[in-house]
């Protein structure tokens, strides 16, 4: 038995289409019940009120009765639905403690059937669905014999509630134990990590996943920092793996040096770690911030000669270059400032709306005065209202039959997850700009020279950089040789080898 449609969707309580369909079904059903109750109630009440008011005002108590009945029915239906679901949740919890799994699942499905019915209003449904979904996710996580539907439900629940620490941690441990990490899971992993930055257990699990995938992108690096800034004694395995990954990439910056030193301190491979430390001491300029770390690193290398140190740092890259100074001057645009243009447009729109509203009020007032002083208009209005009410009843019957009888088709979302394999993992970066138009101009200049140039967008600490890169290569040596050739020809000013990312 699969969960109902409302709980199987990717964003259970946020899907606009499902929300609108449920709202329409609920209000049609509620309107029908209101008609069945308010119509006879109005017929019984109007004769008692007729001696106290004229025909002109008799419509007001009718409207009041219908509105009151509509609101009371909504409150009663919501309380009935919420109480039923809460009772089912308590019953399922008791059955789960007794070990009656099949019966527990059946009770949960009964609660979901109530949630998927027309009883609850959209707002009440959204509130109680969160409670039911959280409880059901924990039930599925505790099961050993999970099927595809239950796994998809847990995945969908975490997409809507990545801040649920208990469910997130248990789900991460299960996919780690069974080695079930999939490509579509990585976006959810990032959301969980950003939502729970202070949950050390969750950050440890995420760091292991990223290290298994050899990831050094911004999100992965943020996770590594959160782990290493906490209790280092509990993250020695992560430090060792991260140091190996940085050495493979040839990193030689401040943070890489800290990782190498920590890994060396906690029993890492000295032959490899000392190479990274040697590269860092050579490339990193000394500042007040890294003075102590550089001093510690130099003490570890004191017994090595200059030739040995030069060989050790071979294959490592210098720290990433700061964005190259923009060579293209900015062009000053002449014209009306955007703020003034927006103010003029808003003022003109307000004047037009005010004029239209004034005309409508005058015409409506004239029509009302004409109707109140015309004796022939009263029977026309009476029969017109009866006719409109009859038409409305017919429309309600048609819509109710259409939406209550029409079977729902399950909606499934499938994503084409074609894995892109990158065979050339390196490229050279020749410039970086803060404005995309400047990067485009430089890109055009390179393409005119017949170069395979492209632009990548990189989020910095406070700014976004538009990096201009050229071609892609199988190894770093080929990339350096190509960059050196372009620099010797005067085509580019400088470059450094970077990891290739498909534009």
Q: What is the pLDDT of residue 115?
A: 86
Q: Which of 269, 267, 265 is nearest to 247 (CA)?
A: 269
Q: Which two tokens stand for residue 323?
A: 């964005």
Q: What is the pLDDT of residue 75?
A: 92
Distance of CA 177 to the CA centre of its chain: 26
Distance, in Å, from the CA atom of 278 to the CA atom of 337, rounded to the nearest integer, reads 55
Q: Is 111 exposed, middle or buried (0-12, 13-18, 19+ CB in 10 A)?
A: buried
Please provide residue 428's backbone torsions phi and psi, each rounded to the nearest 5 degrees.
-120, 135
**Secondary structure (3-state) at 176:** helix
> Which residue ranges make up each domain of the chain?
1-159, 338-405, 426-499
Distance, in Å, from the CA atom of 132 to the CA atom of 86, rounded to the nearest integer, reads 8
Residue 138's H or E segment, with its range, is helix 122-142
In the predicted model, residues of the chain with pLDDT beneath 70 are 1-17, 49-51, 53-56, 58, 178-181, 320-343, 355-360, 362-385, 388, 392, 394, 396-423, 502
The structure tokens 């997850």 sit at 417
Q: Which of 14, 5, 32, 10 is nearest to 122 (CA)?
A: 14
Distance, in Å, from the CA atom of 253 to the CA atom of 280, rounded to the nearest integer, reads 6
Superfamily of domain 426-499: Sporulation related repeat (3.30.70.1070)
Q: What is the pLDDT of residue 126?
A: 83
Q: Which two tokens stand for residue 238?
A: 């992560």
Q: What is the pLDDT of residue 197?
A: 84
Cα dihedral 230→235→239→240 (10° resolution):
170
Distance, in Å, from the CA atom of 282 to the CA atom of 278, rounded to the nearest integer, reads 6
Helix ranges (H only) for 302-337 are 306-312
Identify whether the C-beta of residue 114 lies closer than 8 Å to the C-beta of residue 6.
no
pTM: 0.50
In this predicted model, what pLDDT tens digit does every residue of 82-117 receive, in sequence order?
999 999 899 988 888 888 888 888 888 888 888 888
Geometric angle at alpha carbon 423, from 418 and 424, rounded to 5°: 130
Contacts 24+ apart (CB under 8 A), 63-70: 65/38, 65/41, 66/34, 66/38, 66/42, 69/34, 69/37, 69/38, 69/41, 70/30, 70/31, 70/34, 70/38
């Amino acid at each position: 038995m699969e969960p109902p449609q409302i709980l199987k969707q990717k964003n259970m309580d946020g899907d606009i289409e499902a929300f609108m369909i449920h709202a329409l079904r609920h209000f049609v059903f509620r309107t029908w019940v209101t008609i069945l109750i308010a119509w006879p109630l109005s017929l019984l009440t109007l004769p008692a009120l007729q001696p106290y008011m004229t025909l002109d005002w008799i419509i007001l108590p009718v409207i009041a009765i219908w509105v009151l009945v509509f609101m009371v029915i909504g409150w009663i239906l919501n309380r009935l639905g919420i109480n039923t679901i809460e009772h089912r949740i308590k019953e399922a919890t008791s059955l789960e403690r007794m070990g009656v799994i099949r019966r527990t699942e059946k009770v949960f499905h009964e609660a979901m059937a109530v949630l998927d019915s027309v009883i609850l209003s959209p707002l009440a449904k959204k509130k109680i669905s969160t409670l039911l979904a959280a409880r059901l996710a924990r039930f599925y996580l505790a099961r050993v014999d999970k099927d595809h539907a239950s796994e998809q439900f847990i995945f969908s629940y975490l997409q809507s509630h990545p801040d649920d620490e208990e469910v997130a941690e248990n789900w991460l441990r299960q996919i780690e134990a069974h080695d079930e990490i999939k490509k579509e899971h990585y976006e959810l992993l990032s959301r969980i990590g950003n939502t729970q930055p202070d949950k050390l257990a969750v950050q440890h699990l995420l760091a292991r996943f990223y290290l298994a995938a050899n990831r050094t992108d911004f999100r992965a690096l943020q996770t590594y920092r959160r782990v290493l800034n906490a209790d280092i004694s509990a993250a020695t395995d992560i430090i060792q793996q991260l140091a190996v990954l940085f050495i493979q990439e040839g990193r030689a910056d401040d943070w890489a040096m800290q990782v190498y030193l920590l890994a060396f301190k906690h029993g890492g491979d000295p032959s490899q770690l000392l190479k990274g430390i040697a590269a860092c001491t050579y490339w990193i300029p000394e500042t007040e911030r890294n003075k102590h770390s550089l001093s510690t690193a130099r003490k570890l290398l004191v017994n090595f000669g200059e030739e040995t140190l030069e060989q050790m740092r071979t294959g490592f890259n210098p720290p990433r270059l700061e964005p190259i100074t923009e060579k293209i001057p900015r062009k000053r645009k002449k014209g009306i400032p955007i703020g003034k243009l927006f103010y003029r447009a808003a003022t003109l729109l307000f004047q037009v709306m005010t004029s239209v509203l004034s005309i409508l009020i005058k015409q409506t007032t004239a029509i009302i005065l004409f109707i109140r002083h015309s004796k022939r208009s009263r029977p026309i209005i009476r029969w017109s209202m009866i006719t409109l009410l009859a038409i409305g009843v017919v429309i309600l019957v048609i819509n109710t039959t259409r939406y209550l009888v029409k079977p729902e088709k399950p909606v499934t979302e499938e994503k084409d997850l074609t894995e892109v394999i990158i065979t050339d993992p390196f490229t050279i970066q020749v410039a970086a700009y803060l404005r995309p138009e400047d990067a485009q101009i430089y890109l055009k200049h390179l393409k005119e020279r017949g170069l395979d140039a492209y632009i990548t967008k990189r989020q910095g600490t406070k700014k976004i950089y538009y990096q201009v890169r050229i071609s892609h290569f199988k190894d770093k040596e080929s990339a350096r040789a190509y960059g050196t050739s372009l620099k010797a020809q005067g085509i580019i000013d400088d470059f450094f080898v970077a990891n290739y990312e498909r534009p």
